[in-house]
Chains A and B, each alone.
Chain A
Amino acid sequence: MTHDQVLPLLDAYIDDELDVATSVAVTEHVTTCSDCQRWLAERRVLSARCREPSLRYLPPPGMERRLSLRLGVRREPPTRTFVWPAAAAAALVLTLSGYLVGQMQARVPEVATDLVAAHVRAVLSTRDIDVRSSDHHTVRPWFATQLPFSPPVPELAGGDVDLMGGRVDFVNHMRVAALVYQRGHHVIDVFVWPRSSNRDLRGAEAAIDGFHVETAEVGDFHAAMVSDMSVAELREFRDRWVTAAR
Protein backbone atom coordinates (compact mmCIF):
# COMPACT_ATOMS: atom_id res chain seq x y z
CA MET A 1 0.00 0.00 0.00
CA THR A 2 1.16 3.50 -0.77
CA HIS A 3 1.30 6.29 1.77
CA ASP A 4 -1.71 8.00 0.19
CA GLN A 5 -3.74 4.82 0.36
CA VAL A 6 -2.82 4.27 3.99
CA LEU A 7 -3.55 7.77 5.30
CA PRO A 8 -7.37 7.63 5.24
CA LEU A 9 -7.25 4.25 6.99
CA LEU A 10 -5.14 5.23 9.96
CA ASP A 11 -7.98 6.21 12.28
CA ALA A 12 -9.75 2.92 11.68
CA TYR A 13 -6.36 1.25 12.19
CA ILE A 14 -6.02 2.83 15.64
CA ASP A 15 -9.56 1.80 16.46
CA ASP A 16 -8.85 -1.78 15.38
CA GLU A 17 -11.68 -1.59 12.87
CA LEU A 18 -9.86 -2.78 9.74
CA ASP A 19 -10.13 -6.29 8.41
CA VAL A 20 -7.05 -8.40 8.99
CA ALA A 21 -5.65 -8.23 5.47
CA THR A 22 -5.89 -4.43 5.34
CA SER A 23 -4.54 -4.11 8.85
CA VAL A 24 -1.49 -6.20 7.94
CA ALA A 25 -0.92 -4.07 4.83
CA VAL A 26 -1.16 -0.88 6.88
CA THR A 27 1.26 -2.26 9.47
CA GLU A 28 3.73 -3.07 6.70
CA HIS A 29 3.68 0.51 5.48
CA VAL A 30 3.69 2.10 8.91
CA THR A 31 6.79 0.25 10.11
CA THR A 32 8.76 1.89 7.32
CA CYS A 33 7.17 5.35 7.38
CA SER A 34 8.25 7.80 10.05
CA ASP A 35 5.54 10.29 9.03
CA CYS A 36 2.84 7.73 9.72
CA GLN A 37 4.47 6.72 12.99
CA ARG A 38 4.53 10.31 14.18
CA TRP A 39 0.95 10.81 13.06
CA LEU A 40 -0.18 7.67 14.87
CA ALA A 41 1.62 8.65 18.06
CA GLU A 42 -0.07 12.07 18.11
CA ARG A 43 -3.43 10.56 17.34
CA ARG A 44 -3.12 8.01 20.10
CA VAL A 45 -2.30 10.74 22.61
CA LEU A 46 -5.33 12.72 21.49
CA SER A 47 -7.54 9.67 21.67
CA ALA A 48 -6.28 8.79 25.15
CA ARG A 49 -6.98 12.35 26.34
CA CYS A 50 -10.58 12.00 25.12
CA ARG A 51 -10.98 8.88 27.20
CA GLU A 52 -10.26 10.73 30.43
CA PRO A 53 -13.11 9.48 32.67
CA SER A 54 -13.90 12.96 33.99
CA LEU A 55 -15.14 13.89 30.51
CA ARG A 56 -18.18 11.69 30.99
CA TYR A 57 -21.19 13.42 32.48
CA LEU A 58 -22.77 11.42 35.28
CA PRO A 59 -26.52 11.30 35.85
CA PRO A 60 -27.56 13.57 38.74
CA PRO A 61 -28.13 11.87 42.10
CA GLY A 62 -31.52 10.22 42.39
CA MET A 63 -32.15 10.20 38.65
CA GLU A 64 -32.23 6.43 38.40
CA ARG A 65 -34.70 6.27 41.29
CA ARG A 66 -36.94 8.91 39.68
CA LEU A 67 -36.79 7.08 36.38
CA SER A 68 -37.47 3.78 38.04
CA LEU A 69 -40.59 5.14 39.78
CA ARG A 70 -41.90 6.78 36.65
CA LEU A 71 -41.49 3.62 34.56
CA GLY A 72 -42.56 1.18 37.23
CA VAL A 73 -39.42 -0.80 36.51
CA ARG A 74 -36.89 -1.86 39.07
CA ARG A 75 -33.28 -2.62 38.44
CA GLU A 76 -32.69 -6.30 38.92
CA PRO A 77 -29.34 -7.80 39.67
CA PRO A 78 -27.85 -8.74 36.31
CA THR A 79 -28.37 -12.36 35.37
CA ARG A 80 -25.33 -13.46 33.51
CA THR A 81 -25.82 -16.61 31.53
CA PHE A 82 -23.58 -18.51 33.90
CA VAL A 83 -24.99 -17.35 37.21
CA TRP A 84 -26.15 -20.80 38.10
CA PRO A 85 -22.81 -22.51 37.50
CA ALA A 86 -21.19 -19.59 39.26
CA ALA A 87 -23.20 -20.26 42.38
CA ALA A 88 -22.35 -23.94 42.23
CA ALA A 89 -18.76 -22.97 41.57
CA ALA A 90 -18.64 -20.76 44.64
CA ALA A 91 -19.47 -23.77 46.76
CA LEU A 92 -16.88 -25.76 44.87
CA VAL A 93 -14.10 -23.29 45.50
CA LEU A 94 -14.78 -23.57 49.21
CA THR A 95 -14.65 -27.33 49.14
CA LEU A 96 -11.95 -27.86 46.57
CA SER A 97 -9.10 -27.85 49.05
CA GLY A 98 -11.11 -30.26 51.17
CA TYR A 99 -11.28 -32.56 48.20
CA LEU A 100 -7.55 -32.68 47.91
CA VAL A 101 -7.15 -34.17 51.37
CA GLY A 102 -10.39 -36.13 51.24
CA GLN A 103 -11.31 -39.49 49.89
CA MET A 104 -11.07 -38.34 46.24
CA GLN A 105 -7.40 -37.55 46.63
CA ALA A 106 -6.20 -40.81 45.15
CA ARG A 107 -8.54 -40.63 42.16
CA VAL A 108 -8.52 -37.00 41.06
CA PRO A 109 -5.21 -35.98 39.56
CA GLU A 110 -3.85 -32.67 40.72
CA VAL A 111 -3.85 -31.22 37.22
CA ALA A 112 -7.61 -31.83 36.96
CA THR A 113 -8.40 -29.97 40.18
CA ASP A 114 -6.07 -27.25 38.98
CA LEU A 115 -7.93 -26.97 35.67
CA VAL A 116 -11.35 -26.94 37.29
CA ALA A 117 -10.23 -24.36 39.83
CA ALA A 118 -8.97 -22.11 37.00
CA HIS A 119 -12.26 -22.51 35.15
CA VAL A 120 -14.26 -21.72 38.28
CA ARG A 121 -12.12 -18.71 39.16
CA ALA A 122 -12.68 -17.33 35.67
CA VAL A 123 -16.43 -17.93 35.66
CA LEU A 124 -16.74 -16.24 39.04
CA SER A 125 -14.59 -13.29 38.14
CA THR A 126 -15.94 -10.33 36.25
CA ARG A 127 -12.90 -10.45 34.01
CA ASP A 128 -13.01 -13.94 32.65
CA ILE A 129 -11.82 -12.83 29.21
CA ASP A 130 -8.79 -10.66 28.44
CA VAL A 131 -9.31 -10.44 24.72
CA ARG A 132 -12.96 -10.43 23.81
CA SER A 133 -13.48 -11.46 20.22
CA SER A 134 -15.26 -14.10 18.21
CA ASP A 135 -12.63 -13.85 15.51
CA HIS A 136 -9.68 -16.21 15.73
CA HIS A 137 -7.71 -13.74 13.62
CA THR A 138 -7.86 -11.40 16.61
CA VAL A 139 -7.47 -13.93 19.41
CA ARG A 140 -4.53 -15.88 18.03
CA PRO A 141 -2.18 -12.92 17.43
CA TRP A 142 -3.09 -11.60 20.86
CA PHE A 143 -1.86 -14.82 22.46
CA ALA A 144 1.35 -14.55 20.48
CA THR A 145 2.02 -11.25 22.23
CA GLN A 146 1.34 -12.74 25.67
CA LEU A 147 2.88 -16.20 25.54
CA PRO A 148 5.96 -17.85 24.06
CA PHE A 149 3.71 -19.95 21.83
CA SER A 150 0.76 -19.40 19.53
CA PRO A 151 -2.04 -21.87 20.26
CA PRO A 152 -4.57 -23.13 17.74
CA VAL A 153 -7.76 -21.04 18.02
CA PRO A 154 -10.40 -22.89 16.00
CA GLU A 155 -13.87 -21.53 15.39
CA LEU A 156 -16.43 -24.31 15.40
CA ALA A 157 -18.80 -24.80 12.50
CA GLY A 158 -22.48 -25.45 13.16
CA GLY A 159 -23.40 -22.15 14.76
CA ASP A 160 -24.18 -23.60 18.19
CA VAL A 161 -20.76 -22.89 19.71
CA ASP A 162 -19.40 -19.36 19.89
CA LEU A 163 -15.82 -18.34 20.44
CA MET A 164 -15.99 -15.63 23.10
CA GLY A 165 -12.31 -14.76 23.42
CA GLY A 166 -9.26 -15.75 25.41
CA ARG A 167 -7.13 -15.08 28.44
CA VAL A 168 -3.82 -16.13 29.88
CA ASP A 169 -4.21 -18.40 32.89
CA PHE A 170 -1.92 -20.19 35.30
CA VAL A 171 -2.42 -23.92 35.46
CA ASN A 172 -0.18 -26.89 36.16
CA HIS A 173 2.64 -24.60 37.29
CA MET A 174 2.81 -22.65 34.05
CA ARG A 175 1.22 -19.92 31.98
CA VAL A 176 -1.24 -21.37 29.49
CA ALA A 177 -3.64 -20.09 26.86
CA ALA A 178 -7.29 -20.31 27.84
CA LEU A 179 -9.80 -20.12 25.00
CA VAL A 180 -13.34 -19.32 26.05
CA TYR A 181 -16.31 -20.78 24.20
CA GLN A 182 -19.98 -20.65 24.91
CA ARG A 183 -22.63 -23.16 23.98
CA GLY A 184 -26.13 -22.31 25.15
CA HIS A 185 -25.80 -21.58 28.85
CA HIS A 186 -22.50 -23.43 29.18
CA VAL A 187 -19.13 -21.77 29.24
CA ILE A 188 -16.30 -24.00 28.06
CA ASP A 189 -12.66 -23.21 28.75
CA VAL A 190 -10.05 -24.85 26.55
CA PHE A 191 -6.60 -24.68 28.14
CA VAL A 192 -3.74 -25.10 25.69
CA TRP A 193 0.00 -25.45 26.19
CA PRO A 194 2.89 -26.91 24.20
CA ARG A 195 3.75 -30.59 24.48
CA SER A 196 7.38 -29.60 24.76
CA SER A 197 6.62 -28.49 28.33
CA ASN A 198 6.76 -32.14 29.36
CA ARG A 199 3.72 -31.64 31.52
CA ASP A 200 1.34 -34.13 30.09
CA LEU A 201 -2.28 -34.74 30.87
CA ARG A 202 -2.51 -38.49 31.04
CA GLY A 203 -5.43 -39.51 33.21
CA ALA A 204 -6.55 -35.94 33.79
CA GLU A 205 -10.09 -36.64 32.58
CA ALA A 206 -12.23 -36.18 35.64
CA ALA A 207 -15.59 -35.22 37.04
CA ILE A 208 -15.43 -32.88 39.99
CA ASP A 209 -18.62 -31.60 41.54
CA GLY A 210 -20.50 -31.28 38.29
CA PHE A 211 -17.55 -30.03 36.24
CA HIS A 212 -15.93 -32.27 33.67
CA VAL A 213 -12.44 -32.32 32.25
CA GLU A 214 -11.58 -33.83 28.87
CA THR A 215 -8.20 -33.83 27.19
CA ALA A 216 -6.75 -34.00 23.71
CA GLU A 217 -3.53 -33.63 21.79
CA VAL A 218 -3.42 -31.50 18.67
CA GLY A 219 -0.17 -31.15 16.79
CA ASP A 220 2.38 -29.81 19.22
CA PHE A 221 -0.14 -28.95 21.88
CA HIS A 222 -1.92 -30.41 24.86
CA ALA A 223 -5.49 -29.25 25.29
CA ALA A 224 -7.86 -29.65 28.22
CA MET A 225 -11.56 -28.79 28.03
CA VAL A 226 -13.41 -27.85 31.21
CA SER A 227 -17.13 -27.16 31.52
CA ASP A 228 -20.24 -27.94 33.47
CA MET A 229 -21.69 -29.74 30.42
CA SER A 230 -22.40 -33.43 30.62
CA VAL A 231 -19.53 -35.79 29.83
CA ALA A 232 -21.16 -36.78 26.54
CA GLU A 233 -21.63 -33.16 25.47
CA LEU A 234 -18.12 -32.21 26.45
CA ARG A 235 -16.64 -35.17 24.55
CA GLU A 236 -18.61 -34.19 21.50
CA PHE A 237 -17.30 -30.63 21.88
CA ARG A 238 -13.75 -31.98 22.28
CA ASP A 239 -13.96 -34.02 19.09
CA ARG A 240 -15.29 -31.11 17.09
CA TRP A 241 -12.66 -28.78 18.56
CA VAL A 242 -9.86 -31.20 17.68
CA THR A 243 -11.16 -31.62 14.14
CA ALA A 244 -11.42 -27.86 13.65
CA ALA A 245 -7.97 -27.27 15.15
CA ARG A 246 -6.20 -29.63 12.74
Chain B
Amino acid sequence: MISARDRERNKRFGELVLPLLPTAYNAARWLVGSGPDAEDVVQDAYVRALRHFDSFVGTDPRAWLLRIVRNCAHDWFAAHKGARPVPMEPETVNRLVAQDPAHDPESAAQSESSARVIRAAIAGLPADFREVLVLRELEGLSYRAIAEIIEVPIGTVMSRISRARDLLAAAVRANPSVSS
Protein backbone atom coordinates (compact mmCIF):
# COMPACT_ATOMS: atom_id res chain seq x y z
CA MET B 1 0.00 0.00 0.00
CA ILE B 2 1.50 3.29 -1.07
CA SER B 3 0.87 6.34 1.08
CA ALA B 4 -0.46 9.61 -0.29
CA ARG B 5 2.84 11.21 0.62
CA ASP B 6 4.81 8.63 -1.36
CA ARG B 7 2.44 9.06 -4.28
CA GLU B 8 3.03 12.81 -4.25
CA ARG B 9 6.79 12.25 -4.03
CA ASN B 10 6.76 9.77 -6.92
CA LYS B 11 4.74 12.17 -9.01
CA ARG B 12 7.23 14.97 -8.44
CA PHE B 13 10.11 12.61 -9.12
CA GLY B 14 8.46 11.62 -12.40
CA GLU B 15 8.17 15.26 -13.38
CA LEU B 16 11.59 16.48 -12.29
CA VAL B 17 14.06 13.62 -12.32
CA LEU B 18 12.92 10.94 -14.75
CA PRO B 19 13.12 13.28 -17.76
CA LEU B 20 16.82 13.81 -16.94
CA LEU B 21 17.64 10.26 -18.00
CA PRO B 22 19.50 11.27 -21.19
CA THR B 23 21.76 13.58 -19.16
CA ALA B 24 22.37 10.95 -16.48
CA TYR B 25 23.07 8.26 -19.06
CA ASN B 26 25.45 10.38 -21.11
CA ALA B 27 27.43 11.36 -18.02
CA ALA B 28 27.58 7.76 -16.77
CA ARG B 29 28.55 6.47 -20.20
CA TRP B 30 31.49 8.87 -20.38
CA LEU B 31 32.51 8.03 -16.81
CA VAL B 32 32.46 4.23 -16.92
CA GLY B 33 33.15 3.67 -20.59
CA SER B 34 30.65 0.97 -21.58
CA GLY B 35 26.94 1.01 -22.38
CA PRO B 36 25.74 -1.87 -20.16
CA ASP B 37 27.85 -0.64 -17.24
CA ALA B 38 26.47 2.86 -17.69
CA GLU B 39 22.94 1.47 -17.59
CA ASP B 40 23.71 -0.34 -14.30
CA VAL B 41 25.19 2.81 -12.81
CA VAL B 42 22.22 4.92 -13.86
CA GLN B 43 19.74 2.37 -12.50
CA ASP B 44 21.52 2.44 -9.14
CA ALA B 45 21.64 6.21 -9.20
CA TYR B 46 17.91 6.49 -9.83
CA VAL B 47 17.08 4.04 -7.06
CA ARG B 48 19.25 6.04 -4.70
CA ALA B 49 17.84 9.35 -5.96
CA LEU B 50 14.25 8.27 -5.35
CA ARG B 51 15.13 7.03 -1.88
CA HIS B 52 16.72 10.37 -0.99
CA PHE B 53 14.37 12.56 -2.98
CA ASP B 54 12.85 13.99 0.19
CA SER B 55 16.22 15.47 1.04
CA PHE B 56 16.45 17.28 -2.30
CA VAL B 57 15.84 20.92 -1.46
CA GLY B 58 17.89 22.64 -4.14
CA THR B 59 16.67 24.29 -7.30
CA ASP B 60 18.72 22.29 -9.76
CA PRO B 61 17.64 18.64 -9.96
CA ARG B 62 20.16 18.07 -12.74
CA ALA B 63 23.19 18.90 -10.59
CA TRP B 64 21.71 16.93 -7.73
CA LEU B 65 21.11 13.84 -9.88
CA LEU B 66 24.51 14.04 -11.55
CA ARG B 67 26.25 14.10 -8.20
CA ILE B 68 24.46 10.86 -7.33
CA VAL B 69 25.36 9.36 -10.72
CA ARG B 70 28.97 10.27 -10.10
CA ASN B 71 28.96 8.67 -6.64
CA CYS B 72 27.40 5.52 -8.09
CA ALA B 73 30.04 5.43 -10.81
CA HIS B 74 32.75 5.61 -8.13
CA ASP B 75 31.06 2.80 -6.19
CA TRP B 76 30.88 0.79 -9.36
CA PHE B 77 34.62 1.22 -9.91
CA ALA B 78 35.26 0.19 -6.30
CA ALA B 79 33.16 -2.96 -6.74
CA HIS B 80 34.89 -3.83 -10.00
CA LYS B 81 38.46 -3.28 -8.96
CA GLY B 82 40.74 -2.98 -11.90
CA ALA B 83 37.90 -2.00 -14.16
CA ARG B 84 38.80 1.67 -13.99
CA PRO B 85 39.57 2.49 -17.57
CA VAL B 86 43.08 3.75 -17.77
CA PRO B 87 43.18 6.85 -19.91
CA MET B 88 44.42 6.00 -23.33
CA GLU B 89 48.04 6.66 -24.09
CA PRO B 90 48.59 9.50 -26.54
CA GLU B 91 49.87 6.94 -29.06
CA THR B 92 46.60 5.02 -28.84
CA VAL B 93 44.60 8.17 -29.39
CA ASN B 94 46.76 9.09 -32.33
CA ARG B 95 46.32 5.66 -33.84
CA LEU B 96 42.51 5.83 -33.48
CA VAL B 97 42.52 9.28 -34.94
CA ALA B 98 44.75 8.20 -37.81
CA GLN B 99 42.34 5.40 -38.73
CA ASP B 100 39.71 8.01 -39.44
CA PRO B 101 38.65 8.51 -43.03
CA ALA B 102 39.52 12.13 -42.52
CA HIS B 103 40.42 12.77 -46.12
CA ASP B 104 36.91 12.14 -47.33
CA PRO B 105 35.90 15.18 -49.37
CA GLU B 106 32.23 14.94 -48.34
CA SER B 107 31.60 17.50 -45.62
CA ALA B 108 29.10 15.28 -43.81
CA ALA B 109 31.64 12.52 -43.62
CA GLN B 110 34.21 15.04 -42.52
CA SER B 111 32.02 16.28 -39.73
CA GLU B 112 31.34 12.71 -38.65
CA SER B 113 35.03 12.07 -38.72
CA SER B 114 35.67 15.25 -36.75
CA ALA B 115 33.23 14.02 -34.11
CA ARG B 116 35.05 10.70 -33.99
CA VAL B 117 38.37 12.44 -33.49
CA ILE B 118 37.01 14.57 -30.68
CA ARG B 119 35.32 11.55 -29.14
CA ALA B 120 38.58 9.60 -29.08
CA ALA B 121 40.45 12.61 -27.74
CA ILE B 122 37.96 13.19 -24.91
CA ALA B 123 37.94 9.48 -24.08
CA GLY B 124 41.73 9.65 -23.82
CA LEU B 125 41.72 12.36 -21.17
CA PRO B 126 42.41 11.47 -17.52
CA ALA B 127 39.09 10.97 -15.69
CA ASP B 128 39.18 14.24 -13.73
CA PHE B 129 39.54 16.28 -16.90
CA ARG B 130 37.19 14.18 -19.02
CA GLU B 131 34.51 14.62 -16.40
CA VAL B 132 34.55 18.43 -16.30
CA LEU B 133 34.74 18.64 -20.07
CA VAL B 134 31.71 16.40 -20.54
CA LEU B 135 29.71 18.37 -17.97
CA ARG B 136 30.71 21.71 -19.47
CA GLU B 137 30.67 21.08 -23.21
CA LEU B 138 28.28 18.18 -23.71
CA GLU B 139 25.83 19.02 -20.96
CA GLY B 140 26.32 22.78 -20.98
CA LEU B 141 26.44 23.13 -17.19
CA SER B 142 27.62 26.25 -15.39
CA TYR B 143 30.82 26.25 -13.35
CA ARG B 144 28.69 26.54 -10.22
CA ALA B 145 26.67 23.43 -11.10
CA ILE B 146 29.85 21.50 -11.94
CA ALA B 147 31.40 22.57 -8.63
CA GLU B 148 28.35 21.23 -6.86
CA ILE B 149 28.46 17.92 -8.73
CA ILE B 150 32.13 17.12 -8.29
CA GLU B 151 32.30 18.80 -4.88
CA VAL B 152 35.23 21.13 -5.45
CA PRO B 153 35.52 24.95 -5.32
CA ILE B 154 34.55 26.92 -8.43
CA GLY B 155 38.15 28.05 -8.86
CA THR B 156 39.18 24.41 -9.21
CA VAL B 157 36.46 23.86 -11.82
CA MET B 158 37.77 26.84 -13.74
CA SER B 159 41.38 25.72 -13.80
CA ARG B 160 40.44 22.10 -14.49
CA ILE B 161 38.29 23.02 -17.50
CA SER B 162 41.11 25.15 -18.82
CA ARG B 163 43.63 22.34 -18.41
CA ALA B 164 41.21 19.84 -19.96
CA ARG B 165 40.90 22.01 -23.05
CA ASP B 166 44.68 22.38 -23.24
CA LEU B 167 45.03 18.59 -23.22
CA LEU B 168 42.25 18.15 -25.74
CA ALA B 169 43.71 20.77 -28.06
CA ALA B 170 47.09 19.02 -27.85
CA ALA B 171 45.53 15.64 -28.66
CA VAL B 172 43.69 17.05 -31.66
CA ARG B 173 46.72 19.00 -32.83
CA ALA B 174 48.73 15.78 -32.76
CA ASN B 175 46.70 14.77 -35.77
CA PRO B 176 47.21 17.53 -38.33
CA SER B 177 44.95 15.98 -40.96
CA VAL B 178 41.85 16.79 -38.91
CA SER B 179 42.86 19.85 -37.00
CA SER B 180 40.92 22.19 -39.27
For B2, B21, B111, B172, which residue has the most chain A Cβ atoms within 10 angstroms? B21
**B165-A47 in contact (CB<8A):** yes
In the complex, B11 has a CB within 8 A of chain A: yes
**A67-B18 in contact (CB<8A):** yes
**B25-A58 in contact (CB<8A):** yes
Of A52, A63, A70, which contacts B118 at CB under 8 A? A52
Q: Given known contacts A60-B39, A64-B21, is B15 in contact with A76 (CB within 8 Å)? A: yes
In the complex, A75 has a CB within 8 A of chain B: yes
In the complex, A12 has a CB within 8 A of chain B: yes
How many residue pairs bridge A and B at CB < 8 Å? 111
Chain B binding site: helix, strand, loop or mixed by DSSP? Answer: helix
**A11-B11 in contact (CB<8A):** no
**A11-B158 in contact (CB<8A):** yes
**B169-A42 in contact (CB<8A):** yes
**A74-B137 in contact (CB<8A):** no
**A15-B119 in contact (CB<8A):** no
In the complex, B35 has a CB within 8 A of chain A: yes
From 12 to 27 in chain B, residues with beta carbon under 8 angstroms from any chain A beta carbon are 13-15, 18-19, 21-22, 25-26
What 1/0 mask marks residues of chain A from 46 to 64 whose CB sits below 8 Å from any chain B CB?
A: 1101111011111110011
In the complex, B46 has a CB within 8 A of chain A: yes
In the complex, A73 has a CB within 8 A of chain B: yes
**Could you tell me the distance between the alpha carbons of A60 and B36 in the complex, rounded to whole angstroms?**
9
Of B19, B133, B142, which contacts A78 at CB under 8 A? B19
**A73-B50 in contact (CB<8A):** yes
In the complex, B83 has a CB within 8 A of chain A: no
Q: Which residues of B contact A56 (CB under 8 A)?
A: 22, 26, 138
For B25, B50, B122, which residue has the most chain A Cβ atoms within 10 angstroms? B25
Q: Which residues of A contact B133 (CB under 8 A)?
A: 50
In the complex, A8 has a CB within 8 A of chain B: yes
What 1/0 mask marks residues of chain A from 1 to 43 whose CB sits below 8 Å from any chain B CB?
A: 0000000101110010100000000000000000000000011
Contact count band on A? 35 or more
For B13, B115, B162, B172, which residue has the most chain A Cβ atoms within 10 angstroms? B162
B73 CB, min distance to chain A CBs, angstroms: 14
What 1/0 mask marks residues of chain A from 150 to 180 whose CB sits below 8 Å from any chain B CB?
A: 0000000000000000000000000000000
**Could you tell me the distance between the alpha carbons of A226 and B159 in the complex, rounded to whole angstroms?**
44
In the complex, B38 has a CB within 8 A of chain A: yes
Q: Which residues of A contact B115 (CB under 8 A)?
A: 49, 52, 54-55
Of A46, A64, A79, which contacts B165 at CB under 8 A? A46
Closest to A70 in B: B43
* B residues whose Cβ falls under 8 Å from a Cβ of A: 2, 10-11, 13-15, 18-19, 21-22, 25-26, 29-30, 35, 38-39, 42-43, 46-47, 50, 111-112, 114-115, 118-119, 122, 133, 136-138, 140, 142-143, 158-159, 161-162, 165, 168-169, 172
List 7 interface pairs A-B (beta carbons < 8 Å), by A numbering: A8-B162, A57-B30, A59-B25, A60-B35, A67-B43, A73-B18, A78-B19
A-B complex: 9 closest residue pairs judged by Cβ atoms: A50-B137, A57-B29, A59-B25, A11-B162, A75-B18, A76-B14, A52-B115, A73-B10, A76-B15
* A residues whose Cβ falls under 8 Å from a Cβ of B: 8, 10-12, 15, 17, 42-43, 46-47, 49-52, 54-60, 63-64, 66-68, 70-79
